[in-house]
Structure 1
């Protein structure tokens, strides 16, 4: 793998993290769920021990949420390329919901290249503390 190929994978996976945050904040659930591989796994930072498996189940979980206004701020994104088809990543997350204090946590991701492009194979959220 060339340096340019590695950087392209890092950029594609980093973009996936940012796109996910934006789609989530805009309640564009179908598009957010489509960022997962068909057999992808998601755990919310508020429920790290309750995995949701499969794109359809993830979509149903998104749609079951009560309406709310949010803003996810993701930073400190680091992508580790494992191969031309797999990568891992971590990112810090700050979630504003209109509550008195934001939620502070992180995501630990596994990415896989599919026919649709790079997708989340696994997205595990953890909550570190509330400020």
Structure 2
């Protein structure tokens, strides 16, 4: 793999991580599920020992959650291109959640922000780069 190939893989996978956060905040569940390989696995940072596997299970898990206002901030994303078809990444996540304000203004926070990490694995598919694993863990206890 040459330098340009490595940089392209790193960029594509970093884009997936950031796109995932944006789509989550907009509750665009179909599009999020499409970012996974068919047999993709996810664990939420709040439930790292409870894997969710496959498109149908992922969609069911996302849509079962009550609606909320959220903002995910991704940071310190480091992608490693392992070969032309596989990559891995580590990143930090900061999650803010809130409820709609009665006066119609900015949302009201409903909890302290959560800080966690994601360990990701990616595979190049016929649809482009996709998550094969997205394993989350919290870095600090909930308040």
* TM-score with structure 1 setting the length: 0.97
Task: Indicate the residue corresponding to 2:64 in structure 1.
Answer: 64
- Unaligned regions of 5+ residues in structure 2, if any? 99-109
Q: Pairwise CA RMSD of aligned residues? A: 0.9
Q: Which has the higher strand share?
A: 1
- Unaligned regions of 5+ residues in structure 1, if any? none
How many equivalent pairs are there? 131
- Superposition misfits of 4+ residues, deviation over 2 angstroms: none
Which residue, 103, 106, 123 being the options, matches 2:117?
Answer: 106
Task: Indicate the residue corresponding to 2:35 in structure 1.
Answer: 35
* TM-score with structure 2 setting the length: 0.89
- Rounded Cα–Cα distance in structure 1 between residues aligned with 2:135 and 2:127: 21
Task: Indicate the residue corresponding to 2:51 in structure 1.
Answer: 51
Give the C-alpha shift of residue 55 in structure 1. Answer: 1.3
Q: Secondary structure at the match of 1:70?
A: strand
